[in-house]
Amino acid sequence: MYFHKIRLFFVYLFLLVLLTACGHPIPTASVDLLKQKKAILILTSPSLDKSLQNQLVQTLNTWKQTELITYEWLQQVNVVDDLLINKINQIPYSYIMVISSDLTPTTLTEAGKAPDKRWIVLSDATHLEAIPTTIPDNVAVYQLNASLLTTQWNEAVARTQQAQQQQLTMNGIYHSVGSVTYGNIPTPTPTPSPNIPPINLQKPGAVILIWPSIWADQLKVIQLNSFEKGLHYYTTQQMKINY
């Protein structure tokens, strides 16, 4: 009988310890991480390049796993309209990310109807575009910079020109290579040279966008809440001329 009571005592003690452990509060760090979680909505058009789509899938999954950023992705979006705006206004997205030059016009028109949302428009155009005349206060637009592209082209021409001159000087021949000129939009029109074919920077495919660098920049914006409205240009690390 004595040993039976001792055994019951230890059983009760074990159950008490187990119940106490089950009732242990969630660590503060976990609660803080949940509070920091952000949600973004991705909008892409039917014209989204397949390779870019694959890159986007990998990027978003990485953000979800390592940065606790949840996302919803609406594909095959032709326009940003009132129906879409109503959906957006019902969900507390931290950011709306539009990845398509096709959706830029309707985004700029409709984004003001969701004023508490921050919109990031990433143009996927691989050629120069006209500069938007009006951008709502809750929208940031990223696109190619004509001046940077012109500088890159001139540098390429200069390097090739120097190499040509060194070679031709040995033969007693001298050739000059023209530089880039551009107009109102602007429109660079480089003069061709023996080894550099002419390039039209307004033609699709004239420029290569370096998306990993673009994603990294936007991740910082989301993490640091460093959203800045207005027009922004891709940097020299985020694009290059497709020679």
Q: What does each of the 243 residues of the chain score in pLDDT, given as a tens digit?
A: 544 444 545 444 544 444 333 333 323 334 444 445 789 999 999 999 999 999 999 999 999 999 989 999 999 999 999 999 999 999 999 999 999 999 999 999 999 999 999 999 999 999 888 889 999 999 999 999 988 888 888 887 787 777 777 776 766 654 444 444 434 444 555 555 545 556 677 787 888 999 999 999 999 999 999 999 999 999 999 998 877
Instruction: Give the Cα separation of 55 and 7 in Å (integer).
Output: 62
pLDDT of residue 165: 75
CB distance 46 to 99 below 8 Å: no
**What pTM did the predictor assign?**
0.73
For the stretch 80-87, contacts whose Cβ atoms lie closer than 8 Å and that sit 24 or more positions apart, written own/partner, are 80/43, 80/106, 80/107, 80/109, 80/110, 80/111, 81/106, 81/110, 82/110, 82/113, 84/43, 84/110, 85/110, 85/113, 85/114
pLDDT of residue 189: 52
Domains of the chain, first to last:
36-145+206-241 (3.40.50.2300)
pLDDT of residue 198: 62
pLDDT of residue 199: 67
The stretches of 75-233 forming alpha helices (DSSP H) are: 82-89, 104-110, 146-170, 211-224
pLDDT of residue 177: 43
